[in-house]
Structure 1
Amino acid sequence: MHHSFYASMQLLQQPQVLVKKGWKVLAVLLLGLMVVAGSLGGVLSIFIGESESSTDSQAPIGFYGGNVGLSPETEQYRSMVQEVLTQYGIPEYESVILAIIQVESKGLLADVMQSSESAGLAPNAFTNPLQSIEQGVKYMKANIDYARERGVTDVGALLMGYNFGTAYIQYIARNGGVHTLELAEQYSKNIVAPSLGNTTGITMPYRNAISEANGKPYIYYNGGNFHYADLVGQYLVAGTGNQEAINGDVQHLLDVSKQYLGVPYVWGGKTPNGWDCSGFVGWVYKEAWGIDVSTWTVTQALVGDRIPVSEAKAGDMLFWGPTGAETHVAIYLGDGTFIHAPQPGDVTKITPLQYFQPDFAVRM
């Protein structure tokens, strides 16, 4: 038994906000309507006064140990991203740029970073992925420098800056220096949306795993996407430098599970031709360890010792839902990620634990 765990992701093209230093007036220019699946759309230029400089540290703003859940189409650009980042002197942002590509295009568009409008061009003007990555990295580098000048060291502000524009970084600098969902929503509602005609705070439904987890399944019409930092963050793993040791038997289980990445979700399915969450878990345990844990979520929750999620180790099963009515199961990979078959229309994938907290774990 399995109920749908994720709502389908809807990525909307959002207005871009750009900063020009030294101007003392506010000028708004709308060049286009919102289009599907990006962040740098319908250029909105906001010219604001220059702020005082602060700490100019060269330390990376945020550190990530890698990516999770990237599509093969996004992964194919890893070496290209590494090369361009090295040219701009910021190779430590590899995971961040790849996560942005995943959100912006899933690696399926020529303008993979949806960056053409940040160069003053029309939407999707770049027909070569390298051009898109070069411009996207150039824009990110400018935001990194701008943030450092103002003492902003929060990576969330950088991620939102890619959606809202550089002006958001200055907004954060003036409001405590740390991005929060609440600040992003205020900026969307009170600054971006009114500048594009939405002066009454009109919202539109926006339901997906991130917005539901944030408790805010909406965005503001013409207000950009205030969930953007979390959308990107779901494809990032925090770099703790302290991954847990995994024994050989458990590693084999994890290796078996990962060989099925990309298998389509099929309700009631129990084979690699297509499966649901419990069918996937049952197949992996049987193939890797020869253990029959059943293919029903509720009975799988009874085959081992129940433990708190905080004590979970790689190879444990993770469960969502109350005892006797569990709705979802996954295999914990360690270091804050799990592998699962999420929902109809999706595929077997790896997801960060931080966004989708299970209720308990079971150890065999």
Structure 2
Amino acid sequence: MKKEFIRGRGAQHNSFNKFEKFHSEWRDDFLEYCLEHGELADSNKTSYIPVHPKTIVNKVTSPDVGMSFSMNPYQGCEHGCIYCYARNTHEFWGYSAGLDFERKVLIKENAPELLEEKIRSRTWKAETIVLSGNTDCYQPAEKHYRITRACLEVFLKYRHPVGIITKNAMVLRDLDLLKELNSFGLVGVHISVTSLREETRRLLEPRTATIARRLQTIKVLSENRIPVNAMLAPLIPGINSHELMSLAKAVSDHGALSFAFTVVRLNGAIGLLFTDWIRRAMPDRADKVLSQIESCHGGQLSDSRFGIRNKGEGPLAKNLHMVARIAKQKYFKGRKFPELNKELHRSYKDGQLRLF
């Protein structure tokens, strides 16, 4: 039986959780029964699950990631990007990296309090904390829970530098806080733009903001002098890698100060999820895309080698890096994403300026 494509979701099934002894799967006869009787095998609704972790700020030890500390108000992400490396982390919580990652979103309700406790610690020295190194801090849940906004208020109160990574135009809701943070040199925003084609965006990132809204977000932030770096990532051979030059021009035209990119790698459970997805979503090019991804990672879909895993290797990856160099020279000459201010926080550790 041919399984129906689940629209509005990236993953098309729940992958096996390597930490769990048992797993479940849908049998074809069950799906046939549901189809014949007009019943839904699955409601496909998103569940929001409150959790209360003991810590919220994570030290990033990977040399391939341009950040030292990150925090994630939400675990799991309704955006549903099929390539997302963060899917694997959902297994630590007892869920699947597949549909569970998109449909069971954990809400860290005490994140602002934990953040405040951390940056007020006597031993803490200001380093940029990035929202979010894992899942999007402006995913749909933020509209209701407003945890990201509460965290930004904490950063402002203590004059602490913060970076933001998102592909959601909802970041503009907090433009008032961003402008005030930026007046002290405390914020930089990284907007993810992976394609200029809406058809590609809808398949790769089903519940994200449209490309037009993301470019407009870059423009509005830039017009308000808030530094923006564009994340043209990941580049997937055969899907969006050919757009690198046009993507660079588009984000430059809208005011971005810089851009960065990675070559897609399908680590952990993502390899099987992506393979299943592309054979359903793009069956005509599935073999070609998978083969080209492998060619960038030593014949494998994944790569765990530091210094290489995000850059890729081989002719295709080498060509992308060459195009990126040309794009930076052509569209970003004289522009530079600034270092954030780490000097103010020490004087504001108790929430107000120390005079002595």
Structure 2 length as normaliser, TM-score? 0.26
Structure 1 length as normaliser, TM-score? 0.26
